Amino acid sequence: MDPAGIDHVELCTDQPDQLVAYFRDGMGCTARPVDDPAGGGRVLLTQGDIRLLITPGSADDTAARYVERHGDGVRDIAFGVADAAQAYATALRRGGQPVTAPAVRTLPDGTPGLVAAVAGPGDLVHSLVQRLEPALPAARDGALLTLVDHVAMCVPAGELASTVEFYSRVFGLRTIFEEKIEVGDQAMNSTVVQNQRADITLTLIEPDTSRAPGQIDAFVADHGGPGVQHLAFLTDDITVAVPTLRDRAVTFLTAPESYYPMLAERLPHLENVIAPLRGLNVLLDNDHWGHLLQIFTQSRHPRGTLFYEIIERRQARTFGSGNIRALYAAVEHDRLTAGAPDRT
């Protein structure tokens, strides 16, 4: 099986109006109610090739259980497939656990699809979506954000290897990047897996229990198990996107004070690129193919267990160690400043 891209992402929340407003008024998405005979108040948010399904905790029992256990979070990362019945059978044959058998359903954008679902880590599911008609055309004029670049997931200590093996065995994703990151007395291990088409990328992270507890341990505790820590949205020009989003009241994390002087020493040939990024708090790094620019939003969710990333790739295909350390430090500083999350 070679899934073809992220069809949509479902977020469950007990604050649907606030979340829809954040993505519509802040991120610039278009919002439209989902035509649901059972009601439920679901809303589809779109921008470029991004499709986010916002499901209130009151929509059904499944959403209610998810929100009760985890608070706001990503419940479904739906993969596009050419043949949902075949993909479902293949996933089960490879050891995947069934959630729903293939059936024709109306997709969030109103078009028909053959949809099945298998279980992912924790309470995450992966719908397998075979579109029977083309998706409604995406509006690209004025879109700051174009697609879901990657999804970052945290798992408990000792479960990274088995999670990587699960995605390799069940979905055929391959490892493209591995890293152990140490920041002060904390550390984490990460592995990035990707499909053959390079349009599904999952960053899988576990804490290193030989070091002091940090944000990954806190996520697993506060979220109530493994789950999605952040969604990363690709932009064509981060120097345009970030000021625009700030003007719309989207707030971002601050880079560590030492980051830019160290960056100038590490990448002196990019001094003309670094200067404008400093004023925006955008991070810069490189891999073997090019450069990548990144920034994290502050979490708007009660438990602080979900946030978002804006990323621009200038030919870069993977990730950079320097940015990972800086992003980790920024999240850790924000976590400690914010204090303990509200789990109510």
Q: What are 235-263's pLDDT values in tens digits?
A: 999 999 999 999 999 999 988 878 888 88
Q: What percent of the chain has pLDDT over 90?
A: 72
126 is in an annotated binding site: no
Per the CB < 8 A criterion, the answer to whether 168 and 192 are in contact is: no
Name the pLDDT band for 343 (thresholds 50, 70, 90).
very low
Q: Pseudo-torsion of CA 232, 236, 242, 244, nearest 10°?
A: -120
Those residues with Cβ within 8 angstroms of residue 335's Cβ, 6 or more apart along the chain or in another chain: 215, 218, 304
Distance, CA of 110 to CA of 178 (rounded, Å): 39
pLDDT of residue 339: 60
Output the CATH code of domain 145-338. 3.10.180.10
Fold of the 6-131 domain: 2,3-Dihydroxybiphenyl 1,2-Dioxygenase; domain 1 (3.10.180)
pLDDT at 185: 84
The tens digit of pLDDT for each residue in 148-204 reads: 999 999 999 999 999 999 999 999 999 999 989 887 888 899 999 999 999 999 999
* 150 is annotated as contributing to ligand binding: yes
SS3 142: coil
Region at 5 (left for phi over 0; alpha for psi -120 to 50; beta for the rest): left
Question: What pLDDT sits at residue 341?
Answer: 53
Both tokens assigned to 330: 């920024």
What pLDDT band is residue 344 in, cutting at 50, 70 and 90? very low
- CATH 3.10.180.10 residue window(s) in the chain: 6-131, 145-338
Q: How confident is the model at residue 296 (pLDDT cuts 50, 70, 90)?
A: very high
Asked if residue 230 belongs to a known ligand binding site, the reply is: yes
pLDDT of residue 15: 95
